[in-house]
Amino acid sequence: MADEALSAGAVARRLGVAVTTLRTWHQRYGLGPSEHIPGHHRRYTPADLARLEIMRRLTAEGVSPAEAARWARQAPDPMPTGTVAESRIRRPPGRDGGGTIPVGRAGPAARGLARAAMRLDAAAISETIAHALAAGGVVATWEGLLRPVLAGIGERHAATAGLIEVEHLVSRCVSEALAAASRAKAPTGPARILLSCADEEQHTLPLEALAATLAEAGVSYRMLGARVPVAALVEAVNRTGPAAVVLWSHTRATADPAQLSALLAAPRRPLLVLAAGPGWHADTLPAGVVRPADLAEAVSLAVAVRDSLDRSRGD
């Protein structure tokens, strides 16, 4: 049993609820961890987890916490699969908008985040992201947690035209978490990398993930953010002389290669111009523009340019 017992943080991530919610359910309704090894924090057993899962599902359906806790405490120990009780509890939830966000083969944290997103539970969304960032860093959090959930939201939206409120709330929580991670590691020194979205491009999250990864790697950058008209982008390049510019386009509609040509023709032409994002098409890019395949490649290219500049200046 000891091997399967979980900490409060692990249970919170699995269920997609905040740790403070677990604490409340423990203190008010007695749904706490039952395993106690002397000298250690109490741990949640599979039976505790099954009860909390019932609590979460019923409260999400609008049942009052006190009533939900009464049902949860009565659950058999642990609940057998396929029983009438289980099928009642596992029916599609009501208050959390119905259905789920597909996350493919992503792990329990991504499933927890997807559930928290469907409930519009901002505290749990933020806590899950912050925990992943602290535990695994930005690239692992982006690839293993955020990307699957964002892609799943996109998939559900394309199929149902719904979930716009979920998309907006999750986007905001992701932005806040990445900004906090960037601030915590804010590098000093001249910003030699310029990050910008293409004109009319509002998808900023991948660029924000890149910014946070650069901060983590100690690389200074300047972030222009969403919807940058080409004249403004060229103006920024001429005023700041970055070694590399990353121009993000998420959709075909914003991927006008003339923006890249304008960068290459700028009086202070950057050493490296990166066309990042699924909007760009390799065969329409001007010669000399590099297209990274993913976040890790974009980061290593930016770091390489920064390093070669430092070497040539003897920093």
Q: Which of 24, 100, 171, 220 binds ligand B12 (CB under 6 A)?
A: 171
- The answer to whether residue 293 forms part of the interface with ligand B12 (CB under 6 A) is yes
Pick between residue 49 and residue 302 the one whose CB is nearest to ligand B12.
302
User: How far is the C-alpha of 300 from the C-alpha of 127, rounded, in Å?
Assistant: 28
Contacts of 94 (CB under 8 A, 6+ apart): 60, 61, 62
- The answer to whether residue 153 forms part of the interface with ligand B12 (CB under 6 A) is yes
Task: Please name the amino acid found at residue 174.
Answer: V
Contact 2, 37 (CB under 8 A): yes
User: How far is the C-alpha of 226 from the C-alpha of 206, rounded, in Å?
Assistant: 11
- The answer to whether residue 298 forms part of the interface with ligand B12 (CB under 6 A) is yes
- The answer to whether residue 209 forms part of the interface with ligand B12 (CB under 6 A) is yes
- The answer to whether residue 76 forms part of the interface with ligand B12 (CB under 6 A) is no
Q: Residue 195 forms beta bridges with which residues?
A: 223, 246
> What is the size of the binding site for ligand B12 (CB under 6 A)?
31
Contact 245, 270 (CB under 8 A): yes
Query: Minimum CB separation from ligand B12 for residue 123, in Å?
Result: 20
Q: Which of 56, 111, 115, 147 binds ligand B12 (CB under 6 A)?
A: 147
- The answer to whether residue 280 forms part of the interface with ligand B12 (CB under 6 A) is no
Pick between residue 6 and residue 212 the one whose CB is nearest to ligand B12.
212
- The answer to whether residue 308 forms part of the interface with ligand B12 (CB under 6 A) is no
Pick between residue 43 and residue 250 the one whose CB is nearest to ligand B12.
250
- The answer to whether residue 250 forms part of the interface with ligand B12 (CB under 6 A) is yes
Q: Which helix (H) or strand (E) holds 240?
A: helix 230-240
Q: Which of 200, 224, 262, 303 binds ligand B12 (CB under 6 A)?
A: 200
User: How far is the C-alpha of 301 from the C-alpha of 143, rounded, in Å?
Assistant: 18
Name the segment binding ligand B12 (CB under 6 A); options: 3-11, 42-50, 216-224, 271-279: 271-279
Q: Which of 150, 178, 243, 244 binds ligand B12 (CB under 6 A)?
A: 150
For residue 25, give the nearest of 57, 115, 120, 169 by alpha carbon. 57
Q: Which of 15, 68, 263, 295 binds ligand B12 (CB under 6 A)?
A: 295
User: How far is the C-alpha of 213 from the C-alpha of 224, rounded, in Å?
Assistant: 16
Q: Which of 55, 125, 178, 210 binds ligand B12 (CB under 6 A)?
A: 210
- The answer to whether residue 154 forms part of the interface with ligand B12 (CB under 6 A) is yes
Contacts of 181 (CB under 8 A, 6+ apart): 133, 138, 212, 215, 216
Q: Which helix (H) or strand (E) holds 62?
A: none
Q: What are phi and psi of 246, to 5 degrees?
A: -110, 120
User: How far is the C-alpha of 114 from the C-alpha of 93, rounded, in Å?
Assistant: 13
Binding interface with ligand B12 (CB under 6 A): 142, 147, 150-151, 153-154, 157-158, 167-168, 171, 175, 200-206, 209-210, 250-251, 276-278, 292-295, 298
